[in-house]
Each structure stands twice: as structure tokens, then as C-alpha cells.
Amino acid sequence: MLRNAAAHPAIPPSPAPQRAERLLVRGGAAGWLLVMAALVVPGTLGDQGAPALRWSAVGVLVAASAVAAALPLERVPRAAQAGAAWVAVLMVVGLQLGLRGAAPDIALLTAPPLVWLASRHDWSALLAGIGIAAATAIFAWLSIPADTYGPIAVGAAILLALGVKVLTRQGAETVRFSSLAFTDPVTNCPNRRAWEFELPGRLQAALGRDRTLAAAVLDLDRFTAYNEDWGHAAGDRLLTDVATGLRFAQSADPDASGLGYIARVGADEFGLVLEGQSAAQAGALVHRLDLPGGCTVSLGIAFWDRHETAEDLTGRALRALAAAKRTGGGRVVVDDGAGARVNSWLDAVPAIVARSEVESVYQPIRDLRSNRLVGYEALARPTGAPSDLEVDGMFTAARRLGVSRELESICQSAALNGAHRLLARGGSLFINVSVGSLTEAGLGAMLEQLRAAHLRPAQVVLEVNEQVTRLDRFAQACALYRRAGFRFAMDDVGEGLSTIEALAAVEPEIIKIAKSLVSSADDPGSAAVIRGLVETARSLGGRIIAEGIESAADAARMLNLGATLGQGWALGTPARLGEALVRAAAERPEPVTAQAPARQLAGPVRLAPVRPRAG
């Protein structure tokens, strides 16, 4: 056992049991069969049996014991192990009937399966075994009238099993309940808490071994979509199937090379410890998993440099996994450690949150007909980072680290700070919010932030940019915020992040068409979707914003399809507050498309007011 195992006995073993478990299960089964064979050989279990029958039974039992010693019985589900114990009781009765066994032999052979059930299974499994033993003993007694001691022997074995159950129950229940905190209830694997406790000990133990050690994180690609398509019960079965596949790939000897430890460390992620394995061998392990059609997995691997902490090693594995996911999934990516802790969001986010090192850049939103400003979207950037930096990884890392709500609050404060100067001539400020912050953080905190920033709710559009799952709660939150004067925008509509059902429930004032739809607007299907969204917005009394306007041609296409507002690099690049103020002061009415009308408006325009909503 590892040195840290004794420090917290409640931590469950890895799904593939360790050496002691293997010896107990395989050795117990093989030993019981050999004892039965030994009782048959001298004839003590069968003085009246025919020699041919006796030696045939011996051969079968010895062969069965060899098979039991070779097969990974410890990996068989516990329910199947209980079934094997019940079969063992039936075997005793079969030998009693065939070979006329003596009462001591019957007691000797019946007691081990029942004691096994008493010590390793719950009361229902034990009572089932007792019922089988009692029924078969009565059957044997009726079949062999002269055998009056057989039922007494079976009764003694039953009493022994009950005594063991009573004596061991309290200790077993204590261990079981204490281990729940370290066990994933779906897959029965160790959970993230167990992983964080186990991995440092693994690294410490590996110092004395001359072989590589790597931490890997395996992720099920498109698992959310699988849950939505097939239901959460099917998703749980898929997780269990993956855990079972990993369990059978795991090395039974904790000191041997191979897959040494498994834990479920996320919703659809498994942490793996690989010893003496190359990246190619780890990839082959993943490809051997039997997954339903269309399901793939991604794997991020980080080889230990024999100096870094377990937390750093896990962070590098997650970084490699993120790289594998960015390529579309179904890939194995290795982080070799070169510059591993430089520019890693997983390393940078804790400091960003702790020091509130976030600032906003503001991208203009314009009327495509007049090229006039109607507002700005506030985009978060780490302090001092380039304005065009991609920050999706920052928010992904925050979710992994459990600080997404804190990061969102910092980003909102940065977006609001000084924004009243941008809106002095009118317009609206779009800030990104999560569904969770709307439904849980509360309206009061948002209003307090606005007061500190000298802004009114009517100047702010709350932009929801993630999948909405609890439509009822989200709609209630939107109604509450709307009564306070806020408006809502659904972001990336048409890219799978929002649904028609969410649009119907929330009735947003703004619908933002996803960049992917805008870039493919020449396609008849995309054009039809855009026209449908334009009509939806009109029926709700709202507006459409086309994102990703990269050229005058994009703006012209969107105008032809009915979109009147746009956002993109052709309309203005993101800029920090000072630069955005300079640009706003120098605004000249220059349309970006030849289709813009001749009439020009003096100064920025406000978003058109929308009809009031009930509730």
C-alpha cells in the first residue's frame, strides 16, 4: 500500500482492487474449490460414491480452482460475487446428494460462502444465501433419509454466518459511510477529493522507482449533447461503461507498470495515473474502450518532471486536454513540460481573481444603415493583455477551478467602471452574464454595482451567452430584472448555445445572430434561419444584431436579410476605455455599405424602446 493510504482509511481503492483484494477474492474462491477436491480424494466426502464419479469431481474442482486463480474475479461486480457464493452453496448440496458427504464436511464447505456473504455484503444478500442453504439442506435430508446430521451441520454454518454479520456490521458500516465522501456514486470510482489526496502519495512513492509517471485526464467528447439526446440515465450508463473499461485495463498490481489509479474528477472527466507508459501506450488504452457509436474521448497527458507538485501536474494534464478538445476531440495530446507553467490559464486565473486583474475593452455596435453608434459590448481581458486576445480559455479554467462566479463579478465591475463616459451621448452597454448569476446572485448586487458606476438599468443590456437549462427559473429572473429596467440579449443564437424554447420563454429585447451564421449567409439554409430570427425579433418588439461583420459585403448581406444592427471588426475593433472615448469623439458619419440611406443622424442613437412586458 502507498504510504498515504494509512492516513485516511476511508478513501476507497481504485476501481481495480489492490493486491490484498485480489488475493482475498481469487485465493478464497480457488482455496474453497481445492478444499472440496481434497475432501473428495480420500473418500471422506463420498464413501458410498463410485470411484469414477469421485475422480471426475476431483478433476472438475481442480480445474475450476485454477480458473478461479487466473481470472480477475475481484473485478466482477459485487452482485455477481454474491451470486457465486449462492452457487457454491448449491454445489455442496449437489456433492452431498451425489457422493453422500458426511455432516462435518457439509458444515466445512457451507460455512465459507455464508461467512463471505456476511462479511462483504448486505443483509439481503446474506439472507438470500441462508434461504438457499436451508432449502437445499431440507431437500438433501428428504432425499437421504439416513442423513439426520446434514441439516444440523448446515444450521451450524448459518449460525456462524449470522454471528460474523453481527460482529462485523458496526465496523463495516462505519467504514462504508466514511468512504462515501471519497467515492463517486455513479461509477463507484474514487472522486476528485480522493484524487487530490492520492496523487501526492503516488508521486512520493514514484521517487524510488526508475520509470516514468504521468497524470492524464480523460474527457468524454460531446457528453452534454449525449445526455440531451439519450437522457441522463443513458449518460450515467455511459460513464459506468467507461469506468468499467478503464477498470479492466488497470494493472492489478499497484507496483507494476501500466494504468495504476482511476478517479472521476469531473462531470465527464476521469483522472488516470500512468506508470512506465509511453504516450502511444496510453493512447492505445483509450482506443480500446468500447463506446457507443459516435462517442469519442479526448486525453490530456502530462509526464511528471519529478519536482512539481501534484496540483501543477494535474494542471498540465488539464491544459493538454484543453488542447485536445480545441482540435475537435478524439485526440491524445501530451504536455511535455516545456514552458508548461507559462501562459497557462489554469495557473494564471487564481492570480487574476485574487488581484482582480481584469479590464474591459469595448467593441462598438452600429446601425448598419447609418453606421452610427448604438452601444458597446464590454469584453473582459486580463490587465495589460492585447485587445484581441482570445479569453475563452480563461473562463473555462475558472469553471474548472471553481472560481467562475468570482471572475464574472470582477469582469462585470471592470465593464461598468467608467462606462458612463462612453454612454454620455446615448447608447447602451452590453455586458455578459451567466444564467447562474442571474438566478442566484440577486438583483440587489447588480443594482449596487450600477449605482457605483453612475449608470441606470435602462442603459444596460444583459447578454446571456450560455445554454439555458432551467427555463422557468431563468424566465422568472428575467422578469425581475426587467421590472428594474434592464433589457436582455440572447447571444450566439444559431450556434447551439441558445434555443427557440429559451427565446419564447425570455422574449429578449435583442437577438444576436452568431458569427457562424453571418459568415455563411450566402447559403440558402443560413439565410432562411436569419430571416426567421429577424421575424422572431420583430414579433417580440426587439432588434437583431449580426455579430462577426468583417467586411462591407457582410453588412450588405445582413441588411438584405433584415438585420439592421451589427458588430464586428469592420464596424470597430475592441478598444480600452480611453481609446474608445477618443474614437467616439472623432466619430464621422461614414457608412460601411453603399446601401446605407442618405439621411444621417447627428450623434449616436439609442436603441429603440421596446413594448413593456407583463410580469
User: Mapping DSSP to helix (H, G, I), strand (E, B) and coil, where does residue 370 land?
Assistant: coil
Residues 6+ positions from 555 with CB-CB distance below 8 Å:
368, 549, 566, 570, 571, 592, 593
Most confident of 42-46, 198-202, 603-607: 198-202
Q: Is the dihedral of CA 402, 403, 409, 415 positive or negative?
A: negative
- For 102-111, 353-362, 522-531, 536-545, which range has the lowest pLDDT when averaged over its residues? 102-111
Distance CA(411)–CA(358), nearest Å, equals 6
Indicate if the pLDDT at residue 340 is higher than 60: no
The predicted structure's pLDDT at residue 376: 93
Distance CA(377)–CA(374), nearest Å, equals 10
The predicted structure's pLDDT at residue 97: 67
The predicted structure's pLDDT at residue 426: 85
Residues 131 and 162 sit within 8 Å (Cβ to Cβ): no
The full length of the chain comes to 615
Indicate if the pLDDT at residue 96 is higher than 80: no
Domains and CATH numbers, the chain: 19-182 (no CATH), 192-338 (3.30.70.270), 356-585 (3.20.20.450)
Indicate if the pLDDT at residue 215 is higher than 80: yes
Round the average pLDDT of the chain to a whole number and report it.
Answer: 77
Distance CA(25)–CA(77), nearest Å, equals 12
pTM of the entire predicted model: 0.51
User: Mapping DSSP to helix (H, G, I), strand (E, B) and coil, where does residue 511 land?
Assistant: strand
Residue 1 binned pLDDT confidence (cut-offs 50, 70, 90): very low
The predicted structure's pLDDT at residue 389: 79
Distance CA(81)–CA(607), nearest Å, equals 69
Chain centroid to CA 287 = 20
* Structure confidence by residue, pLDDT tens digits, 381-419: 988 888 777 888 788 778 877 788 889 889 999 999 989
The predicted structure's pLDDT at residue 461: 92
Residue 586 binned pLDDT confidence (cut-offs 50, 70, 90): confident
The predicted structure's pLDDT at residue 342: 37
* Structure confidence by residue, pLDDT tens digits, 134-174: 887 777 777 766 666 667 777 877 888 888 777 766 545 55
Contacts 24+ apart (CB under 8 A), 244-249: 244/15, 245/288, 245/289, 245/290, 246/15, 246/218, 246/270, 246/272, 246/289, 247/15, 247/16, 247/75, 248/16, 248/72, 248/75, 249/285, 249/288
The predicted structure's pLDDT at residue 415: 92
Q: What percent of the chain has pLDDT over 90?
A: 8
Task: Read off the pLDDT of each residue in 494-501 and give the average, rounded to a whole number.
Answer: 60
The predicted structure's pLDDT at residue 457: 92
Distance CA(97)–CA(47), nearest Å, equals 12
Task: Read off the pLDDT of each residue in 56-70 and give the average, rounded to a whole number.
Answer: 78
Contacts 24+ apart (CB under 8 A), 142-148: 143/97, 144/96, 144/97, 144/100, 147/96, 147/100, 147/103
Residues 275 and 211 sit within 8 Å (Cβ to Cβ): yes
Indicate if the pLDDT at residue 597 is higher than 70: no
Distance CA(573)–CA(479), nearest Å, equals 33
The predicted structure's pLDDT at residue 502: 74
Indicate if the pLDDT at residue 433 is higher than 70: yes
Question: How many other CB atoms are there within 10 angstroms of residue 583's CB atom?
Answer: 16
- Tell which wins on pLDDT, 118 or 170: 118
Indicate if the pLDDT at residue 565 is higher than 90: yes
- For 31-40, 204-213, 319-328, 488-497, which range has the lowest pLDDT when averaged over its residues? 488-497
The predicted structure's pLDDT at residue 26: 81
* Structure confidence by residue, pLDDT tens digits, 24-61: 778 878 888 887 777 776 554 444 455 666 677 777 77
Task: Read off the pLDDT of each residue in 444-462 and give the average, rounded to a whole number.
Answer: 89
Indicate if the pLDDT at residue 277 is higher than 70: yes
* Structure confidence by residue, pLDDT tens digits, 163-174: 877 776 654 555
Residue 377 binned pLDDT confidence (cut-offs 50, 70, 90): very high
Distance CA(44)–CA(100), nearest Å, equals 9
Residues 165 and 129 sit within 8 Å (Cβ to Cβ): no
Indicate if the pLDDT at residue 614 is higher than 50: no
Indicate if the pLDDT at residue 77 is higher than 50: yes
Residue 516 binned pLDDT confidence (cut-offs 50, 70, 90): confident
